[in-house]
Chains A and B, each alone.
Chain A
Amino acid sequence: MKFGIVRFPGSCDDIDALQAAARVGDAVLLWHADHDLQGVDAVIVPGGFSYGDYLRAGAIARFAPVMAEVEEFARAGGLVLGICNGFQVLCEAGLLPGALLPNLSLKFVFRQVELSVVRADGPFTGACAAGDRLSIPVKHTTGRFYAPELELDRLEDGGQVLLLYAPGHNPNGSRRDIAGVCNEAGNVFGLMPHPEHAVDLLAGSADGLKIFESMRAHVEQRVLA
């Protein structure tokens, strides 16, 4: 199992994601300017401020050369995980539904939040149980998940909402407490919380490891099948 972590200029949590992924498999960095995914089994688009994010968050990174490969990889069914800025980039790229708007507070917020697992049968949350509580930190200025009401109904009905902020833990005003959604096919997943910052009890929580473990289990199962 080999993870590839995209590195844009301005990525901040790239090494964190690399180290987290390396706990469950091999992990390499993918340079933004290269049209090369190095044969990875899963792509992680990490957190940070790609290209400074002085424009709308993720709006420039979506045009990076490597993103063409990531889009093709996703369309072919490859696993793509977007964390925080990565979630924003994948929304901008049209690989995920909805959009991320500025927090209701209009301020950056760092907080350890509780998430509840809505679905535990897919490639990103398979190692959890439905209803599980995960303690994972958020840290962002633009993390309020938004989609029109009908779209939100469709996402919920279609089982695309994988993670919710637990009651009282919504840090940004996200619609219907949505913390993480996947695409219709279920192989692209974005979330605002940072699972890569919850992989070691020494730092407060290891709950985020379940996301990476789920991905590994899914890829290994696919290989066996």
Chain B
Amino acid sequence: MSSSASSLEERHRQLGLTDGEYARILERLGRTPGDVELAMLSLMWSEHCGYKHSRRLLRRLPTEGRHLLLGPGENAGAVDVGGGLAVAFKVESHNHPSAVEPFQGAATGVGGILRDVFAVGARPIAVLDSLRFGEPGASERSRYLLERAVAGIGFYGNSIGVPTVGGEIYFEDSYEANCLINAMCLGLAPHSRLIRSAAAGAGNVVVLLGALTGRDGIGGASVLASAELGEGDEAKRPSVQIGDPFTEKKLLECCLELLDRELLVSLQDLGAAGLTSAASEMAGRGGVGITLDLCQIPLREADMEPFEIMVSESQERMLCVARPECVGALLDVCERWEVLATTIGCVTEGDSLTVLHRGMAVAELPVSVLIDDCPAYDLQPEPPSSDLYGSPAAVLNGDEPAGEVLLALLGSGNLASRRPVFEQYDPIVQSRTVRRPDEADAAVLSLPDGSAIAVSIDGNGRRVACDPLRGAAEAVYECAANLACVGAEPLGLTNCLNFGNPEKPHVAWQLVQAVEGLAGACEALDVPVVGGNVSLYNEAPSGPIFPTPVVGMVGKLPSAGRAGRLGFAQAGDSIALVGPFSPSPVGSELSKLLGRPPVGALPEADPGAIRVVLEAVRARVRSGAFRSAHDIAEGGAAVALAECCIAGGLGASVRLPLGLDPFAEAPGRGFIVSGSREALAGLVIIGEVGGDGLRIDGLLEVAVSALRAARDGGLSGWV
């Protein structure tokens, strides 16, 4: 970035700005930007920070709801959960850093989403992860990414004392070069502690909290997150940040204490684009200016250039605004927690983000240019003219007996037991967890008044690749179904849109269709989107990833003690199949094992009927009428039944409704429930719990021990 190396005009391209965008900067500023200013603008106008290709589209998502307390635009959204408490939550991607260095990429992904949540004043109480890799059986690199990403998530979450309560993993060839690491965090706060990030009050003091500022992550947003990965990724390793959960643990406790003592006006985490983004957003939301003095900032390396300080993505830092008379008390709290705290600037009237270095202004930019003037591009969507994705390697030929097919499905990467993964995470710290992984379709966390919240995360890229509109809607229905199985009613959702290059018409089409699908399903179930994240350019020379909208949904149930379980509970119980379940083989796990490409229309969903069954399942789980409830997802009814048997350690004898394909799928629309014969009166009874094996009339009979062995063996040796 030395000014002799290249002219300013060339530098804007190196920083990822187009000629058109640079012209727009010249026009808005009415002058040529300086070095530091151009670095700041290039980050704020990057896809990662500026949402250039998704901003217009995201307006389609419904963001109003009766439980909503904080909506999109804050560090995390929040919903009311009763008793004067709020749950804040958000999902965010850390895909590109993780593809370069999976351990630190995944670890800092967790660290980042935790900061987003305690930035709004909520104590992080749960983490979930949504991971995508290439096929581990065929790809050594995918096994490496899987093992290291899981280790990184555990390293950060376990050490900081926030339980990892759930998540999902899919393996598909399309993620071979672009793994996806999405992390979701939930936090709990009294309503009164929720805080916004808007700076306010000219003369108030800006304080930087936490770690030293170093050269890590410089250019992460523009170099890593907004361009396709290709050859030479090793050279990008210095751009990946390093996580320090101990520093963040102290920072977390310190920030919550500062808020409890009402010492802060506003709080903001430092994520992508570091100080530049944090200060711009705080000023922008508050309609004020901010002046920063770089000489005050504690540095890891003394010779850092001003632009490096402004864009550093060093982790474990927060920015806050405090009234001058509170600064003394603020510093005392920080000292007690051994958290570095430094006054680095002040809030000003007007609209300028001013950066001083050795008494000179090295940047003086209108906040509106940094934030509001970032261009928003219309997408040019066009349906693909041919299949985008090839056929997976066939594992089955279609002639196998049904029992063998069932075992192959249970042992396949996408359906196998996640125990080798979740045993590396602490799911119980903080003593709220009443349903751990494998016990129920959603994680359940108790609240002080005896009620509970439930959370689920889901997104099946292969199905969205088949049919982006319906596939994306299915992710919403599936999450809601998971919540219904523990007795919870949805309060809100967050989403992460992982897609390829939006400048390509077929990817733009996937994006537009998927957002429409999400929006429609949210409206149908009356669940608002409280916030989220977009990760684009997940594309390699071989093509884009499967379009992968990941949905994280939070719900509430009145009694933690009544939370549902998925496993069959009692021999002699009746089993019923409920819901508007008309599945098809398109996009199913079996179709993948048969080597079929992800093409074809998914089964249509009837939102009205889905609402009715969700309500019915929820009510009967809450009343205890259903002793088990499990939604029929990947692998169809046969796999769902097998999972109920394995989880409960009980067999079952079943006759499926005439014509029902046992392996066909329609996520979020069908449920396997069990209970006494009387409790299930009026439902479609398909069989009875009992015995040592799963027997499906005319189809298969397999011992539960064999089902379990197949499912347990799928991932072992890979993580």
Could you say which residues of chain A place their CB within 8 Å of the CB of B423? 109-111
Q: Which residue of B lies closest to A11 (CB)?
A: B161
Size class of the A contact interface (CB-based, 8 Å): 20 to 34
Interface string of A178-207 (1 = CB under 8 A from B): 000000000000000010110010111000
Compute how far the CA of A156 lies from the CA of B337 in the bound complex, rounded to whole angstroms: 42
- Decide: A12 near B429, CB < 8 A? Known: A52-B245, A107-B151, A108-B158: yes
Compute how far the CA of A51 lies from the CA of B247 in the bound complex, rounded to whole angstroms: 9
Could you say which residues of chain B place their CB within 8 Å of the CB of A15? 430-431
Q: Which of A48, A108, A109, A111 has the most CB of B within 10 A?
A: A108
Could you say which residues of chain A place their CB within 8 Å of the CB of B430? 15-16
Q: Which residue of A lies closest to B427 (CB)?
A: A110
Q: Which residue of B lies closest to A112 (CB)?
A: B436
Contact of B244 (CB < 8 Å), options: A11, A52, A139, A200: A52
Could you say which residues of chain B place their CB within 8 Å of the CB of A13? 161, 429
Compute how far the CA of A110 lies from the CA of B157 in the bound complex, rounded to whole angstroms: 13
Contact between chains at B428 and A203 (CB < 8 Å): yes
Determine whether A143 belongs to the interface, using a CB cutoff of 8 Å to chain B: no
Contact between chains at B428 and A10 (CB < 8 Å): no
Task: Report the count of interface residues on B (CB-CB < 8 A).
Answer: 31
Could you say which residues of chain A place their CB within 8 Å of the CB of B560? 202
Interface string of A91-121 (1 = CB under 8 A from B): 0000000000000000111110000000000
Determine whether B596 belongs to the interface, using a CB cutoff of 8 Å to chain A: no
Could you say which residues of chain B place their CB within 8 Å of the CB of A51? 246
Contact between chains at B161 and A12 (CB < 8 Å): yes
Compute how far the CA of A52 lies from the CA of B154 in the bound complex, rounded to whole angstroms: 14
Could you say which residues of chain A place their CB within 8 Å of the CB of B436? 204
Contact of A110 (CB < 8 Å), options: B244, B426, B446: B426
Contact between chains at A203 and B427 (CB < 8 Å): no
Contact between chains at A137 and B434 (CB < 8 Å): no
Could you say which residues of chain A place their CB within 8 Å of the CB of B249? 9-10, 12, 49, 52
Determine whether A53 belongs to the interface, using a CB cutoff of 8 Å to chain B: yes
Shortest C-beta distance, A175 to chain B (Å), equals 22
Determine whether B250 belongs to the interface, using a CB cutoff of 8 Å to chain A: yes
Interface string of A1-37 (1 = CB under 8 A from B): 0000000011111011001100000000000000000
Compute how far the CA of A13 lies from the CA of B158 in the bound complex, rounded to whole angstroms: 11
Shortest C-beta distance, A48 to chain B (Å), equals 6
Interface string of B150-172 (1 = CB under 8 A from A): 01001100111100000000000
Shortest C-beta distance, B245 to chain A (Å), equals 7
Determine whether B9 belongs to the interface, using a CB cutoff of 8 Å to chain A: no
Could you say which residues of chain B place their CB within 8 Å of the CB of A108? 154-155, 158, 424-426
Compute how far the CA of A11 lies from the CA of B158 in the bound complex, rounded to whole angstroms: 11
Compute how far the CA of A174 lies from the CA of B321 in the bound complex, rounded to whole angstroms: 50
Contact between chains at B246 and A139 (CB < 8 Å): no
Q: Which residue of A lies closest to B246 (CB)?
A: A52
Contact between chains at A53 and B426 (CB < 8 Å): no
Contact between chains at A197 and B428 (CB < 8 Å): yes
Q: Which residue of A lies closest to B426 (CB)?
A: A139
Q: Which of A13, A15, A110, A196 has the most CB of B within 10 A?
A: A110
Compute how far the CA of A19 lies from the CA of B431 in the bound complex, rounded to whole angstroms: 9
| CB-CB contacts below 8 Å: B537-562 with A | 560-561
Q: Which residue of A lies closest to B162 (CB)?
A: A12
Contact between chains at B159 and A49 (CB < 8 Å): yes
Determine whether B389 belongs to the interface, using a CB cutoff of 8 Å to chain A: no
Compute how far the CA of A195 lies from the CA of B221 in the bound complex, rounded to whole angstroms: 44
Interface string of A76-91 (1 = CB under 8 A from B): 0000000000000000
Having A9-B249, A52-B245, one finds 17 other A-B pairs with CB under 8 Å, namely A9-B337, A13-B161, A13-B429, A15-B430, A49-B158, A54-B246, A108-B155, A108-B158, A108-B424, A109-B424, A110-B422, A110-B428, A137-B428, A141-B158, A197-B431, A202-B560, A203-B434
Top 5 A-B pairs, shortest CB-CB distance: A12-B161, A52-B246, A49-B159, A16-B431, A139-B426
Tell me the A residues contacting B by CB distance below 8 Å. 9-13, 15-16, 19-20, 47-49, 51-54, 107-111, 137, 139, 141, 194, 196-197, 200, 202-204
Ordered by A's residue number, 20 sampled pairs between the chains whose C-beta atoms are within 8 Å are: A9-B246, A9-B250, A10-B249, A12-B160, A13-B429, A16-B430, A49-B158, A49-B245, A52-B245, A52-B246, A108-B154, A108-B158, A108-B425, A109-B423, A110-B424, A137-B428, A139-B428, A196-B431, A197-B428, A203-B433
